[in-house]
Structure 1
Amino acid sequence: MNKHYIDADKQMRKLEETKRLKSVEDKQVSSEVFDDKTLKVLYKLANKGYIRSLNGVISTGKEANVFLGIDDDDNPVAVKIYRVMTLDFKKIKEYIAGDPRFKSHGNNTRQIITAWTQKEFKNLSRLYKLGLRVPEPYIAMENVLVMEYLEYSDDDNSAAPPLSKAKLDNASEVFEEIIDFMDVAYNKAHLVHGDLSRYNILLSHGHPYIIDVSQSTLDSHPSSRSLLERDIKNILYDSKKFKLNLTYEYVRNRIIKND
């Protein structure tokens, strides 16, 4: 029997076990994440060698959970699973409808969520190819995205923390890198993050890595400028948490060149 098939079969049994949790809350979360169709997607990814096992939760959010996975080469990967039951489809359809890279999918839930996951994969790929600090995307399949696992440091391979939980000895340099990211993302990748804050910027090896780009829009999107302005204000607010004195004019002029 094929090795991948054996590993995938073991993984499916492990995932099925997670559905037999004790507390009512855990049972609800498990059923929201590991519905039958998602388990089948994970089986396919395991059969392709992308996921040999899932070893715990890295983060949980309103829309998705991120798990630490191990691939067939014993490398850690981050596995993001969008929870179909808790996604705001009205919001998702609005962002997808304004993006010419995607066609409308009506009210088909699975098609909408697949497009949303593909949108994050394409946005990550676009940013990564420009050398920006985002996790490298490996594959997206339906509501599952497999990407690079970001560790805290060479000496600490735990998951990179968000800036909201990180201690910064080089806050000024980190925020300059964030502004540089916003500049290149907007002027070269033609993307606006749209929800940028200290909660979706990870600190890995002393550098900021931007995550959660599913809602990121092209600069041609009718809401792109207002979203960019919101990102700028969020970063300014966050910088004050680290006792920096950045100004709105300074940050805005670094990003918006010809206004």
Structure 2
Amino acid sequence: MRKLEETKRLKSSEDKQVSSEVFDDKTLKVLYKLAKQGYINTLNGVISTGKEANVFYGYDDDMMPVAVKIYRVVTLDFKKIKEYIAGDPRFKTHGNKTRQIINTWTNKEFKNLSRLYNLGLRVPEPYTSLENVLIMEYLDKSEDDHSAAPPLNKVKLKDPKIVFDEIINFIDKCYNEADLVHGDLSQYNILLSHNHPYVIDLSQATLRSNPSSRMLLERDIKNIIYDAKKYKLNLSYDDILNRVLNG
């Protein structure tokens, strides 16, 4: 299968330690299952790497580009993850074994993405998830540039006011329509695709009913205000918070 050939090629080109953490035997079996289902045909390279997961650029059986997110088993903060899951009634049973927790964490991101995407919010469309692998829409930079959409911290915005207005609108709709709070929103997990901000990394997103949601909402707003200062935008914390809470 081309899937394994590409995976082995990634192993030889990436740092060996990171590769062994990402492409363990169980994860390879999951990738095989997804390949048989037509979700993956090839994996062509790394889009991003992080403490929790790596995201790869690939194609499905229709040769359409996809983003393949693989949660790394050995580097996840399980104490933090269990706290986020424990406060979510959608995942009352998640087990205590490492793999069970990771699988639930991956499924949580899939469900959060689905919830937001179905409401028309700008997040990558989730296609499927299986155990520690999530397959979703690949976001490119523009019509003329099909490289991966960059995070806001790596671009110079041409019209920052419009972009940050859209981000604030996202926070508002996420809270009032999806009943979710991102919980870790910043310029590092907002991608600029076709001049619009798309929010990623939704695994930790918390239901509005969670006792910690207010604190997390306030933190998200403060982060965005801080990021906007780079463009000399003076956003009002009170105005944004009141808009969201009274939305």
Shorter-chain TM range is: over 0.9
Q: CA deviation at 1:18?
A: 3.6
Structure 1 spans left out of the alignment, 5+ residues: 1-8
Which of the pair has more CA radius of gyration? 1
Superposed CA deviations along residues 1-31 of structure 1, whole A, max 9, x for unmatched, are xxxxxxxx2312332344345xxx8110000
Q: Distance in 1 between matches of 2:149 and 2:213?
A: 29
Q: Distance in 1 between matches of 2:228 and 2:133?
A: 33
2:219 aligned with 1:226: no
1:187–1:255 Cα contact (<8 Å) kept:
yes
Q: Distance in 1 between matches of 2:199 and 2:6?
A: 31
Q: How does 1:110-129 map to 2 (within 5 A)?
A: 110-129=99-118
Q: Distance in 2 between matches of 1:153 and 1:18?
A: 26
2:109 aligned with 1:109: no
* Equivalent in the alignment of 1:249: 238
Q: Distance in 2 between matches of 1:12 and 1:52?
A: 10
2:1 aligned with 1:14: no
Q: Which amino acid aligns with 2:128?
A: I
* Equivalent in the alignment of 2:56: 67
Q: Which amino acid aligns with 1:79?
A: V
Q: Distance in 2 between matches of 1:19 and 1:162?
A: 25
* Equivalent in the alignment of 2:36: 47
Q: Which amino acid aligns with 2:8?
A: E
* Equivalent in the alignment of 1:6: none
Q: Distance in 2 between matches of 1:206 and 1:20?
A: 35
2:182–2:206 Cα contact (<8 Å) kept:
yes
The size of the alignment, in residue pairs, is 247
SS at match of 1:57: strand
Q: Distance in 2 between matches of 1:203 and 1:11?
A: 29
* Equivalent in the alignment of 2:166: 177
* Equivalent in the alignment of 1:238: 227
Q: Distance in 2 between matches of 1:131 and 1:13?
A: 37
Superposed CA deviations along residues 113-149 of structure 1, whole A, max 9, x for unmatched, are 0100000000000000110000000000000000000
1:96–1:104 Cα contact (<8 Å) kept:
no
Q: Which amino acid aligns with 1:246?
A: L
Q: Distance in 2 between matches of 1:189 and 1:178?
A: 15
Q: CA deviation at 1:243?
A: 1.3
Q: CA deviation at 1:252?
A: 1.2
* Equivalent in the alignment of 1:163: 152
Q: Distance in 1 between matches of 2:11 and 2:64?
A: 26
Q: CA deviation at 1:92?
A: 0.6
TM-score (norm. length: structure 1): 0.93
Q: List 4+ stretches of structure 1 deviating above 4 A.
A: none
Q: Distance in 2 between matches of 1:10 and 1:75?
A: 15
Q: CA deviation at 1:176?
A: 0.4
Superposed CA deviations along residues 39-90 of structure 1, whole A, max 9, x for unmatched, are 0000011111111000100000110000001111111000000000100111
Percent identity between matched residues is: 72
Q: Which amino acid aligns with 2:222?
A: K
Superposed CA deviations along residues 156-180 of structure 1, whole A, max 9, x for unmatched, are 0000000000110110000000000
The RMSD of aligned alpha carbons is 1.2
Structure 2 spans left out of the alignment, 5+ residues: none
Q: Which amino acid aligns with 1:28?
A: Q
TM-score (norm. length: structure 2): 0.97
